Amino acid sequence: MQQSISTRRRIHGMATLSAALVFLVLANVSNAQTIEDEAVAWLQEFIQIDTVNPPGNETRAVDFYRAIFDAEGIDYEWAESAPGRGNIWARLEGGDEPGLMLLQHTDVVPADKEFWTTDPLSGELRDGYILGRGARDMKGTGIAHLATFLSLHRSGRPLNRDVVFLATADEEAGGFFGAGWLIDNRPEIFDGIGLLINEGGSGSISGDDIVFGVEVTQKVPVWLRLTAIDTPGHGSSPRTTTSVLRIVEALNRLKENPFDARIIPAVDNYFKGLSVNMQDEWAPAYADMARAISDPEFLPAFQEFRPGHHALTRDICSITRMGGSSKINTIPPEAWAELDCRMLPDRPAAELIAEVEALIEDTGVEVEVIMAFTPAISSTNSKLFESIVNVTGELYPGSQVLSAVSTGFTDSHFTRDLGIVSYGFSPVITRSGEATGVHGNDERIPVAEFRQGVTDLRAIVRNLVN
């Protein structure tokens, strides 16, 4: 990968940016009365910046943040891991306590305009919602990080620890041009950092019950490619074995032989916490999930009820991509499939890969590892977790804070490997069952809840650092 020259802000740095971009950023907030007003305007503007990955073009997001930091008089640095793949960071210096990092990614997944009711990059404000790709994942959270960071800077109050703002590229494709690249090429960014807030957890309300989930670990992605090679031929005269039949046989074995269910401590604690306020027939199962999964009829019913929670009870391999012939009447010499496997974080990826290889051993299908991360769990015994519990408890009496396990992965796996206590958390509260559109159609975030989330995150961080 080609590296660009890292750039630090100077007094004349505004001249290096697009004058139009600076004008837009400043114009959007010129009439703002509060940091929450500014955050709404910033988020609408940020959504309009095309950072769809692929290809990413996250340097556009870097330019957006550079304009803001220049206007605020904040020193920053930025670097590209490859042309157009920009990352930006800034540090507020404080005392000797372990530093806090506010980590976000600026890329977003593609969106099909045909299935949206607005332009996916519009940032439209409609019916009390901000709509657009990234409103939730994770430009909304990123702007909340920005508002918190600027609030600390503007206050001028001394901090008990450094606070680092870091916006990275490529998380949606694995983070190798973003957080992963920075760890290898700009390790000084992470110097002194002991605590981190990223995406992955949030607040939810059901009835009058509010629960804040703080992601402390996640299922480990293991992406595999299966390949079969055999004699090609005409579709009218099939042989007893073909590349396609080999792939089909291997995939069928994976489908018919799911991994055994098991409940790890982090999942057990999460489910037990959820059971406290549950009023339906599922409450006993959540209270003792290890017992519930021993019933062979339970797991299929649980998967139908809550696929995301079912996924926390076992390792899984989803068949997501397949390929064969480019012509309907031709048997291809090679066929392939790709698997999105996700492991519970209690064993190394090599064990799951060995199980897949053993299961399809005599099919003539080869297994290639596309990507495999390492498992890690962040302790809840930290000043940051304590701050989340104390502040949310004061703001929302009777609410719960639960350590949660995510079925997806984030860049936190990189920072946990560094020994940084990393939490996925946003205090934005969403009504249980409300559609958010994350990675789907009409992604949205309610304005009122977003504004409150900005306020609450500032309170949590200020409680930690002042």
Position 267 pLDDT exceeds 60: yes
Selection from 173, 137, 133, 171 nearest residue 48 by Cα = 133
212 DSSP β-pair partners: 203, 401
- 143-187 tens-digit pLDDT: 999 999 999 999 999 999 999 999 999 999 999 999 999 999 999
Q: Name the amino acid, one letter, at 117.
A: T
Whether the pLDDT of residue 4 is over 70: the answer is no
Q: Are 79 and 30 in contact (CB under 8 A)?
A: no
Domain annotation covers residue 212: no
- pLDDT: is 409 or 11 the higher one? 409
Peptide bond into 322 cis (omega under 30): no
Q: What is the CATH number of the domain that holds 132?
A: 3.40.630.10
Domain assignment present for residue 296? The answer is no
Among 17-26, 301-310, 414-423, the range scoring the smallest mean pLDDT is 17-26
Name the CA radius of gyration of the chain, rounded.
24
Residue 12 has pLDDT above 80, yes or no: no
Q: According to the model, what pLDDT value does residue 137 have?
A: 97
How would residue 277 be classed by pLDDT, with cut points 50, 70 and 90? confident
Phi, psi of 277 (to 5 degrees): -105, 10
pLDDT at 279: 82
Q: What is the pLDDT of residues 356-384, one digit of tens each?
A: 999 999 999 999 999 999 999 999 999 99
pLDDT band of residue 266 (cuts 50, 70, 90) is very high
Could you tell me which of 419, 339, 404 has the C-alpha nearest to residue 374?
419
H helix or E strand, kind and range, residue 447? helix 447-465
| Residue 255, pLDDT score | 96
pTM value? 0.88
Identity of residue 418: L
Three-state SS string over 356-420 comes to: HHHHCHHHCEEEEEEEECCCCCCCCCCHHHHHHHHHHHHHCCCCEEEEEEECCCCCHHHHHHCCC
Give the whole-number percent of the chain exceeding pLDDT 90: 90
Q: Is the pLDDT of residue 306 over 80?
A: yes
What phi and psi values does residue 183 have, to the nearest 5 degrees?
Answer: -60, -40
Q: Report the C-alpha dihedral over residues 110, 115, 118, 122, rounded to 10 degrees.
A: 0
**Domain contains 393:** no
Per-residue pLDDT band at 433 (split at 50, 70, 90): confident
CA distances to 118, 171, 302, 438 from 434, rounded to whole Å, are 19, 25, 20, 11
Question: Does residue 219 contact residue 406 with C-beta atoms inside 8 Å?
Answer: yes
Q: What value does the mean pLDDT take over residues 250-278?
A: 95
Angle of helix 59-72 relative to helix 19-29, nearest 10 degrees, comes to 60
For residue 218, list its beta bridge partners.
406
pLDDT, tens digit (0-9, with 9 covering 90-100), for 99-141 = 999 999 999 999 999 999 999 999 999 999 999 999 999 999 9
In a domain, 341, yes or no: no
* Mean pLDDT to the nearest integer, 220-241: 96
Mean of pLDDT over the chain: 93
- H helices present in 224-319, as ranges: 243-256, 265-275, 283-287, 289-292, 298-305, 307-310
Q: Is pLDDT above 90 for 7?
A: no
Q: How confident is the model at residue 206 (pLDDT cuts 50, 70, 90)?
A: confident
Domain region containing 142: 7-200+410-465
User: Which H or E run includes 451?
Assistant: helix 447-465
- Residue 31's pLDDT is what? 52
Polymer length in residues for the chain: 466
In a domain, 240, yes or no: no
Dihedral of the alpha carbons of 373, 377, 383, 389, in degrees to the nearest 10: 110
238 in any annotated domain = no
Q: How far is CA 418 from CA 138, 139, 161, 180, 184, in A?
A: 23, 25, 19, 11, 11
Number of other residues whose CB lies within 10 A of the CB of residue 279: 9
Provide the number of structural domains found in the chain.
1
What is the tens place of the pLDDT at every residue in 378-402? 999 999 999 999 999 999 999 999 9
pLDDT above 70: residue 56: yes
